[in-house]
Amino acid sequence: MLPRRNSPESLSEFLNYLAKTDCDGGCERIPPLAQLSQQLNISVASLREQMEVAKAMGLVEARPRTGIRRLTYTFRPAVVQSLAYALAINPETFNAYADLRSHIEAAYWYQAVNLLNEQDHQDLRELITRAFDKLHGQPVQIPHAEHRELHLAIYKRLNNPFVTGLLEAFWEVYEVFGLDVYSDLAYHERVWDYHARMVEAICNRNVTVGYDALMEHMDLIYQREKKPVSQAFE
């Protein structure tokens, strides 16, 4: 393990330990709590509490046979925890987060789509095909999984864990909010018509045309008639 630069003093002993040790290639084993408590000079009880925080943040996992393992950093778990708390206090908070998500996608659109390669283009086209197959099938199915996968796939090559985490957190609460429920077929077809325009523009390197389609698509979330936000969490 290679030492890292000093971490902020606000970090707990366990988080500071994680921050100061390298994790090459993803995961690594963490010493047993009894051993680590001596190394960090804190009690096992305090260390266990700190580890629970790290688990909630998605920084480590603990399993009976494999023990404690450090995970590759992701921003999503911490955002989801905070967002879930905000929604429990006031479900209308989702509207503010949805607005943030829209601005994030708009701000990173040009950078994101210019990083996509030919295989990414093919994958996006396949998502469009799968979605319309569901919409035109018997019975009709909502292509919610494809909706989530499409939007995240467009931004996947940014290599920015904070952008990715914020976008992933949106989809974590999307179902709770109730936007994945069936409305009318015409609405879903309209949504996917916009998606198809976005994807074709991406594949043809017409990024401005795709951006315009994205903006029109985002407006649909505000035009859609839905139950009050507070009822979505009952």
**Where do we find the tokens 């019975």?**
139
Please spell the DSSP secondary structure of 137-198, one letter per residue: SSS----HHHHHHHHHHHTGGG--HHHHHHHHHHHHHHHHHTTTS---HHHHHHHHHHHHHH
Predicted confidence band at 231 (pLDDT cuts at 50, 70, 90)?
very low
For the whole model, what pTM was predicted?
0.83
Return residue ranges of the chain for CATH 1.20.120.530: 88-233
More confident residue, 7 or 1: 7
Amino acid 219: pLDDT? 82
- At 124-166, the pLDDT tens digits run 999 999 999 999 999 988 899 999 999 999 999 999 999 999 9
The full 3-state SS of 73-104, as one line of letters, equals CCCHHHHHHHHHHHHHHCCCHHHHHHHHHHHH
Helix (H, G, I), strand (E, B) or coil at 11: coil
* Structure token digits, residue 183: 């409305």
The correct answer on CATH 1.20.120.530 for the domain covering 88-233 is yes
Asked whether residue 80 carries a pLDDT value surpassing 70, the answer given is yes
Kindly state the percentage of the chain with pLDDT values over 70. 85
CATH number for the segment(s) 13-70 = 1.10.10
Predicted confidence band at 185 (pLDDT cuts at 50, 70, 90)?
confident
Asked whether the beta carbons of 134 and 142 are under 8 A apart, the reply is: yes
Dihedral sign for Cα atoms in the order 115, 121, 127, 132: positive
Which range in 92-101, 102-111, 135-144 is most confidently predicted, on average pLDDT?
102-111
More confident residue, 121 or 67: 121
Q: Tell me, what DSSP letter sits at residue 21?
A: S
Listed residue (155, 182, 158) closest to 170, CA to CA:
155
Amino acid 179: pLDDT? 58
Q: Tell me, what DSSP letter sits at residue 59?
A: S
Listed residue (222, 126, 213) closest to 179, CA to CA:
222
- At 189-211, the pLDDT tens digits run 999 999 999 999 999 999 999 99
Report the mean per-residue pLDDT for the chain.
86
Indicate the range of 38-42, 121-125, 222-226 predicted with least confidence.
222-226
